[in-house]
Structure 1
């Protein structure tokens, strides 16, 4: 006698372990705390495609992971989009841990304001310093988010310079999710804590992150495209540097435009 499976309402024999239509398990348990905990553990530690296994592969084999995933080994690896979004979630959680910040006295910090007698000019300068402080606060708190926003541009440059490799833009975007996601993970869990431990300037943290990005991007794409010559390694280095520099120019221009005019000056 056949029974109707609950997920897709397909008729199947009761001795089947999985539905022949949707592959859901036949013997389902009621949802409880144990079931949820098991799913969480399975999600992170599954031997074939758990995130910890992926991180290990990205550290040791970098671009080969993206190459195999794009070329069809989809079940072997943790999804690039899920990985990228999970890294973003971890970063947002860490960034929103409450931190005590001492409010700045703008006139005390910027003594040149005391010499301005024109009220309108002084008000304008105060607003400029306020926007500057907001930008500094955003960069301190959301530097990794800014790095994530570089993904479409970085992927575009790799697609543009490697069009002969027959990977489309979306496939370069997928590779970028693995590549950039791993860099941001290392920045969040390794570079930033070391900087805080040794009380290094945020500028040093940014420098170390950019150098790590440049090195990892280069090795990642060298392996992703299965290159073997020193010339191709140099090209991967050049494209990586070009992409990072271009993103620095775009983000720098945007920041300066906001500080100087609050964006309104651009459209007036």
Structure 2
């Protein structure tokens, strides 16, 4: 015997008008049944959502790691709900990596940069003083506003890098902003792939999906090497990038279906262009962050 329903005349979810015989909203699918929210309902909502995400995550990670380009091809072929969508997978893995980096290193990566620089603090300060003195004449010939901006910027750099604690704080601030740059660079990588592996049947979005999965794979490798470094004090960071090169070649060959020579040549173009643009982006990003940093 079916359960007795207390019907509504409109859907409480999307406000669509419903007929009496309708057991579900034809617009959004919500059940047409008035009932009080119970603890059991809340638990069911949580467990179904959590385990659904959990299953999709582990299934997606398995294919991401061991079947290069499989997730990209599946997504583009319309199999969307079986795995985490590309952007969700990337955001989750990158978020996990940066949390892991903060927890495991406790700033050790930044400390190493600062400690290396700390041995040369006096020398750097002297060189900057000399540089400022050498540029005095040049500044006097320039516009007063530009002169003030340049002088303030150099003074800020001097204050940051002449103090170990301040330098560490700045690099921590820089590290917190880095995910923004990395995310912004993915469409750039997608465009480079688009022009390097151009095919009429491939749209830009196809290359962007492939780029998201490549970046997600890199963050998984970086997470693994970070854990190894934390547990065994072994610096194996280079392994992540070596794995990316091998993985990227296999994935690109399967995804674009080109010959070995053609794939290698095009990946070389992708690598050169991406490194060149990344250097410009990183330099610009550094100065933008420096400008926004408050001492």
Of 212, 215, 220 in structure 2, the residue corresponding to residue 180 of structure 1 is 215
Please tell me whether residue 233 in structure 1 is matched to residue 237 in structure 2.
Answer: no
Does 129-138 or 190-199 show the bigger shift?
Answer: 129-138
Question: How many matched pairs?
Answer: 252
Does 175-184 or 143-152 show the bigger shift?
Answer: 143-152
1:162 corresponds to which residue? 197
The SS at the match of 1:72 is: coil
Of 42, 57, 60 in structure 2, the residue corresponding to residue 51 of structure 1 is 57
Please tell me whether residue 249 in structure 1 is matched to residue 279 in structure 2.
Answer: yes
2:46 corresponds to which residue? 36
Higher helix share: 2
Where structure 2 has 5 or more consecutive residues not aligned to the other structure, the ranges are: 134-153
Q: Cα RMSD between the aligned structures? A: 4.1
Deviation at 1:212, TM superposition (A): 2.2
- For the 8 Å contact 1:87–1:184, the answer to whether it is kept is yes
- For the 8 Å contact 1:87–1:185, the answer to whether it is kept is yes
The SS at the match of 1:164 is: coil
Of 157, 161, 176 in structure 2, the residue corresponding to residue 129 of structure 1 is 161
Residue pairs, 1:1-268, within 5 angstroms: 3-4=7-8, 5-8=11-14, 9-11=16-18, 16=23, 19-25=25-31, 30=38, 31-45=41-55, 50-97=56-103, 99=106, 109-112=120-123, 121=132, 124=155, 126-127=158-159, 129=161, 136-137=171-172, 147-188=182-223, 190-201=224-235, 205=237, 207-227=238-258, 229-254=259-284, 258=287, 262=290
Distance 1:218 1:165 in 2: 21
Where structure 1 has 5 or more consecutive residues not aligned to the other structure, the ranges are: none
Distance 1:156 1:105 in 2: 37
- For the 8 Å contact 2:128–2:158, the answer to whether it is kept is no
Deviation at 1:53, TM superposition (A): 0.6
